[in-house]
Amino acid sequence: MRICVIAEGCYPFVPGGVSGWLQQMIQSMPQHEFVVWAISAQEKQRGHFAYKLPENVVQVADVYLDAVIHETLHENPHSYRLTQPQRDAVQNMLSSKDPDWREIFSLFEGNRLKGVEFLLNRDFFAILKEICREYYPFVGFTDFFWTMRSMFLPLLYLLGGKPPEADLYHSVSAGYAGVLGSMAAQRYKKPYVLTEHGIYTREREEEILRTNWVPPHFKDLWINMFYMFTRCAYRHADKVTSLFSRASLIQQEIGCSAEKCAVIPNGVHAERFESIPLKEPNGQIDIGAVVRIVPIKDIKTMLYAFSRVCAEFDKAHLYIMGPTDEDEEYYEECLQLQKDLELSNVTFTGRVNVQEYMARIDFTLLTSISEGQPLAVLEAMAAGRPAVTTNVGCCRELLEGPDDDFGNAGFCVPVMHQGELAEAMLTLCRSEKIRREMGENGRKRVYALYRHEQMVRNYLDVYRAAQDRAERRWE
């Protein structure tokens, strides 16, 4: 079987997280061929892969959003006129009211229309004026036009491309990837599977609410658009997976049919971490954070909380292990904060071999403001290291158990709460006994519930179920 995985802003360009998960999934299914349909923001990333692609990756169909500026137009881009069903669908899409996506997809089939051309179309302009007049009468049309252009140009550009042909499509997020998966499944009459590690719409909503570059009166526009993309993916997917039961319930609240939903926890190669010895006591406590240096991981709260630890425990060292080039401005801000707080005992290591570094770590730390089911926590547990995490995604369930008798494997605290983060770290710094007990609890939980082999079997079952459902749908 040829499987097309659709990755948005991650694999194979960005290491860690979903990318690492996808690399392991592909390697674990050598009996299948894979096509990687990779959506990236900037063309300068072309060819700069963070991973050596497995041998069963037979094609990388990479698309770069900033390449839209080089898009060539047809001879007369203004001439295309929308049919009434197409016009209705476009109006609903621009109003984030769940359009007839078949009509939207048909606009771009066969290269008859391109993303930039759509923005030059007279019908598009007329529809936009109607929406602005009805919903934003006190907003200047120029501001409204450029906002809508920024919102929809990436989608329109992506829809103008030709989907790679495959036997099954699997997007590892909703959003743009979810709409592309829906389009490919419709065009080729093939099954489509959606996996959400985090809830895409909730993550985008948090980003939009926190950002300064979207004016307050346009934030609802952006948020509603992302919800519409996700509902499109839910509607067209044959199976929708999440990492834990609460995430599945959120998917259903947003609009996914319960009968499509499946919960498949992440799994790790526990045996790779089993042989890592526990660190021998040497008077110093070494804390490890395996994390990308980006705002959603909230490295600044991590530094503030660690500075509180240092005020009471002067023999601690924090290693922040992960790539620093994804958001270089944020990384520089973190370095400046480290300097301001006079934290000479913090090391940004960049990307490292986590298994090698784990041998020198006493416990791990995660301060994210949004997560799914972080592999870094599972790997630490497999190595017998307790964790301090924020209460996001599945972290509490990982550390305290879904409903088992293994005991706590660490501490779960509120998001952005420097005080409770510091207290949890201090507890582990001061007690080797607690560290050993919690570490062993976590190791047992991983071996019982979160093994990689079981996760792969579960996804193969989902693929078969999606194929069966798609066959019935296209009969």
Place of tokens 């547990």: 381
Domains 2-70+163-266+455-474 and 270-449 share a fold: yes
3-state SS of the chain is: CEEEEEEECCCCCCCCHHHHHHHHHHHCCCCCEEEEEEEECCHHHCCCCCCCCCCCEEEEEEEEHHHHHHCCCCCCCCCCCCCHHHHHHHHHHHCCCCCCHHHHHHHHHHHCCCHHHHHHCHHHHHHHHHHHHHHCCCCCHHHHHHHHHHHHHHHHHHHCCCCCCCCEEEECCCHHHHHHHHHHHHHHCCCEEEECCCCHHHHHHHHHHHCCCCCHHHHHHHHHHHHHHHHHHHHHCCEEEECCHHHHHHHHHHCCCHHHEEECCCCECHHHHHCCCCCCCCCCEEEEEECCCCHHHCHHHHHHHHHHHHHHCCCEEEEEECCCCCCHHHHHHHHHHHHHCCCCCEEEEECCCHHHHHCCCCEEEECCCCCCCCHHHHHHHHCCCCEEEECCCCHHHHHHCCCCCCCCCEEEECCCCHHHHHHHHHHHHHCHHHHHHHHHHHHHHHHHHCEHHHHHHHHHHHHHHHHHHHHHHHC
CATH of range 270-449; options 3.40.50.2300, 3.60.20.10, 2.40.30.10, 3.40.50.2000: 3.40.50.2000
Predicted confidence at residue 116, as pLDDT, reads 77
Place of tokens 């992506």: 158
Structure-token pair, residue 129: 């004026």
* Measured distance CA(9)–CA(3) in Å, rounded: 19
Q: What is the CATH number of domain 2-70+163-266+455-474?
A: 3.40.50.2000
pLDDT digits over 211-230, tens only? 888 999 999 999 999 999 99
Structure-token pair, residue 241: 């997976």
For the chain, domain boundaries = 2-70+163-266+455-474, 84-150, 270-449
Structure-token pair, residue 265: 């926890």
From residue 412, how far is each of 378, 386, 416 by CA, in Å?
14, 11, 12
pLDDT in tens, the chain (475 residues): 999 999 999 999 988 789 989 999 999 999 999 999 999 989 888 988 999 999 999 999 999 998 887 777 665 656 678 899 999 999 999 999 999 999 999 988 876 667 777 888 888 889 999 999 998 888 899 999 999 999 999 999 999 889 999 999 999 999 999 999 999 999 999 999 999 998 999 889 988 998 888 999 999 999 999 999 999 999 999 999 999 999 999 999 999 999 999 999 999 988 888 889 999 888 899 999 999 999 999 999 999 999 999 999 999 999 999 999 889 999 999 999 999 999 999 999 998 888 888 999 999 999 999 888 898 999 999 999 999 999 998 999 999 998 888 999 999 999 999 999 999 999 999 999 999 999 999 999 999 999 999 999 999 999 999 999 998 887 7
Q: How many angstroms separate the first and last alpha carbons of the chain?
A: 20
Predicted confidence at residue 17, as pLDDT, reads 81
Predicted confidence at residue 321, as pLDDT, reads 95
Please, are residues 370 and 198 in contact by the beta-carbon 8 Å criterion? yes
Contacts of 47 (CB under 8 A, 6+ apart): none
- The amino acid that residue 31 corresponds to is Q
* Measured distance CA(187)–CA(62) in Å, rounded: 19
CB 362: neighbour CB atoms within 10 A? 22
CB 448: neighbour CB atoms within 10 A? 12
